[in-house]
Structure 1
Amino acid sequence: MHHPLTHIASFTKLSLVISFSLILGACGGGGGNTSSTPTQPDPVVEPTPNPAADLNAEFASYLTDLTDNHIIPAYADFVTKTQALQTQSHAFCSANTANIADLTSFKQRWQEVVQAWQKIQWLNLGPALDETRSLRIQFWEPGTDAVRNGVEALLLRQGETIDAVLISGVNVGAQGIPALEYLLYPPNNSDTLINASNREKRCEIATAIADNLYNMSSAIHSQWQTSGGNYRHTLITGINEFSSVQDAVEELVTLWLEHINIVKDDKILAALAVTSPGISQNAEHYLSDESLTSITTNLATYVSIFTAEGGQGFDDILTTTLAQQTIATQVNTEIAAAVSRIATINQNLNNYSSAIANDNGRAQLTALVDELNAIRDVLTIEFLQALDISTGFNATDGD
């Protein structure tokens, strides 16, 4: 059973907006007026836009708060989780008497790394792109055997020591999170890190992958710091690869929309397929069955992107600066519907394989796809128009 959504704090502003809308709806109509003259409802009056507002300054505030409240903390958490994984991998593989409980702890550290990455997976930008780190952290493409082939090729390299330096230069499929999943959750039960005949080599590769993940996460986090590459300054001021602050905002929205399409098309539809029982091997983490948990984390992250984790969010710009309460509420409502849907799926279905094979599960996942389309649609039309921004040409593709 997948545990329920744990990102409660980040939904504060979203919950307030939706609750307020529901209260307004509940207050309309009815009453004890018996006059023969119909009572005319009060006209809905939207706030007046602030004519003195500097939208560029508003965008700068958004970039600052998103960076400080969401991006840098997410990367810091990713470093913490990869370091714990690295420590656990070395402890496990150095113990000749490692048991099931030890392997379970190893898997738990890996699961924590997965979810830490899912929080920031959407931000395919800057330091994450340098040295193709995001691809090396998690190379995953439905229907390919790159991970299996990459790890199996490493297992055949018996005459040399596999370490983080070597791993960092091999095929991307053998470098990151999915490669370690293949070792921790092998397709064959005879190949576990406890009973495999080549346990020593498997552990050697596993620790090298864990080291590589820590090295990459540390490099990314460092480059966001003032003492490192100070990419924070690059983003919030819209310099270097950005032409302006607005350009930086447009790039983030493009990446957000692209990630919505990835969740919809690659994480759900590719596994759902056309008919039951679906294609479970196409799921993002089919060996470990972390797929639904990862989608849950992704949807929670969409709230963080929209609200800047309680800072100056897009919701504030729409509501306070642009007097577009209706659009802000609509975005909140569409995201909340998807969040609610994935929570229901997690509660009612034991795993992703059963979800894509079960009639009710397939119906729920299909409804989730519709809700993701609804998020994308409001973002690509009303949201972009209200903010007077545009996105990359392929950000809104897919249905």
Structure 2
Amino acid sequence: MKKRPFILFLYFISASIAAQERMKEELSIPLADELSYGSPSDVHLDSTFIHTQVDSIITNGIKQQAFPGAQVLVAKEGRIIFHKAYGFHTYDSLQPVALDDLYDLASVTKIAAALPALMKLVDEGKLDLDQPFSTYWTRWKGKKDKENLSLREILAHQAGLVPYIVFLNKIFKKNGRPKKRFVRPYRTRKFSQQAYQGIFINRRFKKKMYRIIDRSEVSDKKKYTYSGLTFLLYPALIEQLAGIDYETYLNTHFYGPLGMETTGFQPKTKQYPNKIVPTEKDTLFRHGLTQGWVHDENASLLGGVSGNAGLFATAVDLAKLMQLYMQLGTYAGKRYFSEATVKEFIKGQYPENDNRRGLGFDKPYPNNSGLPLSEAYPAPEVAPESFGHSGFTGTFVWADPENQLVYIFLSNRVYPSRKHRNLYSLHIREAVQQVFYRAQLPTE
């Protein structure tokens, strides 16, 4: 009993030291190329104008049921100068949107998961953009319409591949019930790919998807046609070339070092403390609210781990990754890619062929600056060198090196149904982005 005061004393001392260390971390000066927090006035922007305009646009979007809730993050000149959450997870207004909520990124997965891995493999000389893709993905050797397609053509959506294949059709019988050889309500060694609660996919179905892609048509006309097909293949290719599994590769080389602690696939199976924003009430396949499981059906048939969709993340995590790209491969004093590799991936590849795309990255419309907001993509004010990507669920990320601006927009516009399209018709993402270009304070 006499020892208790001394033990309590040690406890309080250790707790005090721990608290001081936490305060030091929170108050520490970030590295020159690491995101920090600031205010709009720090970068000569009008805070009142920004808050008034963004609040108005987002509030109207919620009123028009473009989405039940959203959040916006903007970093300028290396400082997060705006990060605000709006609305609720659903229209019943029970769960408010929080700044650390996890969102299903949909196609933003392409540039936040598959692409950084491919970029690193190119950097290491394990992939050549101008070699035939079949050099690495040998299933395409002997496929006359595919064996000579280069990785550059494919990543720039210039290869003539079909845009999308609905693989979900392959698992249903004519009466609408799932085929037992592909789907089971419980996990076994053979049925190990979990698509949803009580839905497990035969791990061999992945090979069936590959065969269907092998047989898919390729257009003779080499012009811009967006296709996500090969992003279904990239995880297996990355594992083949890297020698470790796709998720481990991403966590080891990117998410871990960048401090993207709650970025990953299948968040329902992980112990993340963050709330997960729901997407669609699925009446066809999952027969319930899709929350914590990937919305994209093709990715779900792969167990939620894919290159086309399936990644979940917070706004701050995405801001770090986009800042890394904008800084041409470095973040917080660490180099992740060579400057030359990043420059190659973010530049337009086939502008002479009316193709605005970079390698994996989206780019502004040609002559975007001369277009009205209703016709522009994204905001008319973004620089031609800027780049990013959008996601079907209502997500959008963009980086503008010329203006040193990173823009993150997260929403669940597909709740309760993907038929909700006012996010597009009201041009909400572009309008919010435009605010930060128009908020410049007059110089003295």
Q: Give the alignment's TM-score, normalised by structure 2.
A: 0.21
More strand per residue = 2
TM-score of the pair, normalised by structure 1: 0.23
Structure having the larger proportion of residues in helix: 1
